[in-house]
Structure formats: structure tokens, C-alpha cells
Amino acid sequence: MGVAVASVGAQRADDLEVVQVTSDVYMLAGAGGNITVQVGSQGVFVVDTGSEAMSAKTVAAIRKISDRPIRYIVNTSADPDHTGGNAAVDKLGAFIPTRELIEEGAVIIAHERVLGRMSAPTGKVSPTPVAAWPTATFFVAQKDMHVNNQPVQLLHQPAAHTDGDVMVFFRKSDVIVAGDVFDKTRYPVIDLPRGGSIQGEIAAINRLLNLMVTSEKEEGGTMVVPGHGRLCDEHEVSEYRDMLTIVRDRVADSIKKGMTLEQVKAARPSFEYDPEYGVSDAFVEAVYQSLRSGSRS
């Protein structure tokens, strides 16, 4: 059934919707991809920064939440609607110095494949400005941090929307930022050229569900900030997983029967979900091609 409106506080901030998820975590909607802001004694932790065109409004909205310096920015993928505001938001930052390293601005963290896509090989033109690039990357399955008096886990999803997706788990706040691995406004964008797959997408959603615990009557509990759309709980994530699994199995059965891509599209394997997520030949084609190629997590 979803989250009751009374369970979170929402207000407008310069055309962005600011939703208070917990006492220290906020979701900003309307700047492209959803943005998550976590505030504590060490400063501000931001997950994704929206589109470049909305960066000024993003900065203003963050400043209405807290005037403390931004310490960390995490990008859940390389998509421009999640990274476009990096340079502008980073200007509000202040790196926590150590004896070995002192920098200006916040630390922008992402999986190493995100940096590879935002930068460019020697001699090539970069698709994004240097100021927007991640300044710290990782390649392991899980990167653990301790920020603002709580454990924060960055969880790499190796073959979901892309091969560089990261979910961010604020363990004490019990909030997970899923990025475009989970998007309640549409079918997932399974980007095959960038390493995405239907099997990896389902595996990522199952991992998300394994981290979640519901509250009373299967409502509330662990909250999820999706890549786009409203705040969600376990019930909605479970429905999304079931949809993905059913569509995948139907397409797999069609492939076993020797059906072509056009025949599978005509059979409408996602027909009962189209009213909610929108008719998408691109999604069905991605599932078909992913299964045909044997892509898996």
C-alpha cells in the first residue's frame, strides 16, 4: 500500500519537493533523479546530485536543510540526472583532512566504472567536466564507512541497470538509497551496452529486500529512496521484484519456444503491468536480448 503521507514531512523548496524521511535523512525530488541528504555532527552526506540544469535549486534546497559543509557525495551511477549537479554541490563541501591528504571541496565517491564513463581515455574528449568527476572510487562489492555517528555501506550491484550501480545503506537511520536499480515510475532501464542485465536487476532487488525489515502490518520499517518517484517501503519493492520475475519468466519461455523479438513484443509479456509502468518495448527488448546473450549477475 505504500507509505502514509503522515509518516513523513514534505514541503516545497524552489520547485523541489523536500521529504523528511527520518530525523536526519531527507529526500529531494524534482531535480532529475532523486537526491538524498543525510545530516549529522560531521556535516552533510549527499547521495546523487540531480541534473546540471537544476543544480542551483538543488544547492538552495540543501542549504535550507543544513548550513553545515558537505563532506561526501556518492553517485549511484554515471547517469547525468544523478551526477549533473556534482560540480555545484561539491562547492559547498569541505573535505575531512587527514595527515596524508588535504583537499578542497567534498569527496565525490563512486564505483570505478562510473569514473571511467564520466571521464575519457587519453586523447578523447570527456563527456563531463573534470569538476564533476568522482575523486574517490572503489571496485569491491561493498565499501564501508562511518559518518555522522552511523555505519554507511556502499553496495555495488554488478549487472543491474548498469555494471556500476551502487546502493547506499544508512544503517542507523534504516534508509537505503537504491538509485535507478529501483524506479517505481517506470520499468527499469536495463542498459545492455553498459553491462546491465535482467538477471542482475532481479538479483539487486532481491539484495535490497534482504536488507529491509518491515514495521507493523507489513508497512513502514526500512525506507527506500528510489531513483525516481515516491519514497517506498518493502511492500512496494517486493511488488517490483515480482513484476520483474514474472516478465523475465514469460520472455524466457517465449525464447524456449523459438519466438522472435517481434513476436515476443506482440505477445505483450508485461501487459498487466503496463498501466502502472507504461508500455515499453525497450524494456521487453532488453529482457529478451539479456536472456538471449546469457547475461547474468
181-190 residue pLDDT tens: 999 899 999 9
Residue 197: pLDDT above 90?
yes
pLDDT, averaged across the chain: 91
pLDDT, one tens digit per residue, over 31-81 is: 999 999 999 999 999 999 999 999 999 999 999 999 999 999 999 999 999
Alpha-carbon dihedral sign for residues 258, 264, 266, 267: positive
CA neighbor of 79 nearest in space, from 171, 199, 164: 164
pLDDT, one tens digit per residue, over 210-253 is: 999 998 766 779 999 999 999 999 999 999 999 999 999 999 99
Residue 96: pLDDT above 90?
no
Largest CA distance in the chain: 63
More confident residue, 115 or 123: 115
Alpha-carbon dihedral sign for residues 49, 41, 169, 162: positive
Cell 542485465 belongs to: 197
pLDDT at 125: 87
| Superfamily of domain 5-293, CATH level 4 | Ribonuclease Z/Hydroxyacylglutathione hydrolase-like (3.60.15.10)
Q: Where are the domains of the chain?
A: 5-293
Give the confidence band of 17 by pLDDT, cuts at 50, 70, 90: very high
Model's pTM, two decimal places? 0.90
